[in-house]
Amino acid sequence: MAGPSIALIGAGRMGAALASGWLAGRGKPDIRIQDPKPSETVTEWAGAGKVSLNPEPEPVDVLVIAVKPQVFPKMAESLKPWIGPQTLVLSIMAGTRLKQLTERLGTGHVIRVMPNTPGAIGKGVSVMAKSDIVMAKQLEIAGKLLKPLGEVIGPVDEKHMSVVTGLSGSGPAYVFLMAEAMADAAMAEGLPAELAEQLAALTIEGAAALMVQSDEAPSALRKAVTSPGGTTQAALDILMDEGGMPILMRKAIRAAANRDRELSRDTD
Ligand SMILES: NC(=O)c1ccc[n+]([C@@H]2O[C@H](COP(=O)([O-])OP(=O)(O)OC[C@H]3O[C@@H](n4cnc5c(N)ncnc54)[C@H](OP(=O)(O)O)[C@@H]3O)[C@@H](O)[C@H]2O)c1
């Protein structure tokens, strides 16, 4: 059976990562890409007949919106020709709510998704929220289309999406900051920069892999490497002190979630 016809609006980092995953799958997917300034890769795909680039819009099975959220209100009207009565709209735009998608596009078949940047290498996590009328079959299609970005979670209640944004959407930046801070601290203690940066990145990679593979909670893994009176304990006494990492993270995720709530109000 042929796959769904897909129109991808915006083939930037996220959009191109999705399309490249669809192209790597089996069969010959029907992918139409709309992007006024397509990248070299996208232009090559079109040249090789793998996708059609900037074709005349017509109703498709799935319309995937991957432009920046601030661009969307200006172009929403122009997307309507892609939408028929059965078209599923899948938006990966941060902070654009289901209600806004429905109102601007004139359809209730909408799913919004919060992906994250590791999706560009298939190691991301995408969290879905859907409007009431989205059918199980459409949800399944959405899950399959998001697979190239990594794990797919949901649907969750849309009210959770601001915190999801603060956790998994923005979260990769917190980990990059941690790598930076760990390396800087080691350099300040005299380690050569290259060695410090390499060890910080590899430590985070290894700890993350261990955590994902293990059945134990992160707190149990932490306790397992912390001998009383040892070196890890000395460091954690600082990190977990009053005003330390747990409270900082609490404030950081609250700030990110609040910012998401503000941004989604701005685009009303
Ligand atoms: N990156 C992340 O970590 C992340 C995480 C969660 C959610 N998201 C969401 O994913 C979406 C895409 O992010 P991204 O990082 O992939 O952004 P991006 O790289 O800027 O991609 C957006 C693409 O859309 C194109 N575009 C602009 N106007 C257009 C139009 N009128 N019609 C069609 N295409 C148009 C852009 O072209 P130009 O470059 O020429 O403007 C660009 O190629 C955003 O809504 C963002 O909120 C991203």
- The pLDDT assigned to 66 comes to 97
Q: What is the CATH number of the domain that holds 216?
A: 1.10.3730.10
Are 152 and 174 members of one domain?
Answer: no
Are 31 and 131 members of one domain?
Answer: yes
Residue that finishes a domain, picked among 100, 135, 156: 156
Residue in this structure with the two tokens 């009176």, named with its chain if needed: 229
- Quick one: which of 139, 147, 94 has its CA closest to 119? 147
Are 240 and 184 members of one domain?
Answer: yes
Inside any domain, residue 163? no
Are 124 and 69 members of one domain?
Answer: yes
183 labeled part of a ligand binding site: no
Are 123 and 183 members of one domain?
Answer: no
- pLDDT digits 0-9 by tens, 50-70: 999 999 999 999 999 999 999
Are 179 and 130 members of one domain?
Answer: no
Are 135 and 15 members of one domain?
Answer: yes
Are 36 and 109 members of one domain?
Answer: yes
Ligand 1 site: residues with CB under 6 angstroms?
9-15, 34-37, 66-69, 71, 75, 92-94, 114-117, 169
Q: Which of 8, 9, 14 to mutate to test the pocket of ligand 1 (most atoms within 8 A of CB)?
A: 14
- Measured on CA atoms in the order 72, 46, 3, 117, is the torsion positive or negative? negative
Q: How many helices (H) and strands (E) does the chain have?
A: 11, 8
Domain region containing 29 = 5-156
Inside any domain, residue 181? yes
Count how many domains the chain has.
2
Are 92 and 191 members of one domain?
Answer: no
Contacts for 82 with CB less than 8 Å, ≥ 6 apart: 7, 9, 57, 58, 59, 60, 63
- Distance, in Å, from the CA atom of 95 to the CA atom of 113, rounded to the nearest integer, reads 10
Q: Is the pLDDT of residue 266 over 90?
A: no
- pLDDT digits 0-9 by tens, 150-176: 999 999 999 999 999 999 999 999 999
CB 115 within 8 A of CB 126: yes
Map 198-245 to HEC letters.
HHHHHHHHHHHHHHHHCCCCHHHHHHHCCCCCCHHHHHHHHHCCCCCH
In the predicted model, what is the mean pLDDT of the chain?
94
Q: Is the pLDDT of residue 268 over 80?
A: no
CA dihedral 21, 23, 27, 31 (to 10 degrees): 110
**Token digits for 89?**
């709209």
Inside any domain, residue 131? yes
How far is the CA of 61 from the CAs of 29, 31, 83, 148, in angstroms?
12, 11, 8, 19
* Shortest-distance Cα residue to atom 1 of ligand 1: 117
* Shortest-distance Cα residue to atom 9 of ligand 1: 93
Neighbours of 219 (CB within 10 A): 8
Inside any domain, residue 245? yes
* Shortest-distance Cα residue to atom 42 of ligand 1: 12
- Output the CA 42–ligand 1 centroid distance in Å: 14
- pLDDT digits 0-9 by tens, 205-239: 999 999 999 999 999 999 999 999 999 999 999 99
How far is the CA of 147 from the CAs of 19, 153, 230, in angstroms?
11, 10, 43
Helices (H), 13-135: 13-24, 40-47, 72-79, 98-105
Are 233 and 129 members of one domain?
Answer: no
* Mutual angle of helices 171-188 and 193-213, in 10-degree steps: 140
Helices (H), 3-126: 13-24, 40-47, 72-79, 98-105
- Residue 267: band (very low, low, confident or very high) from pLDDT cuts 50, 70, 90: low
Distance of CA 24 to the CA centre of its chain: 20
- Distance, in Å, from the CA atom of 139 to the CA atom of 90, rounded to the nearest integer, reads 10
- Say which DSSP state 158 is in: G
Q: What is the CATH number of the domain that holds 34?
A: 3.40.50.720
Are 112 and 214 members of one domain?
Answer: no
**Token digits for 96?**
């654009």
Inside any domain, residue 251? yes
- pLDDT digits 0-9 by tens, 80-139: 999 999 999 999 999 899 999 999 999 999 999 999 999 888 899 999 999 999 999 999
Q: Is the pLDDT of residue 27 over 80?
A: no
Are 139 and 202 members of one domain?
Answer: no
| Segment (H or E) for 109 | none
13 labeled part of a ligand binding site: yes
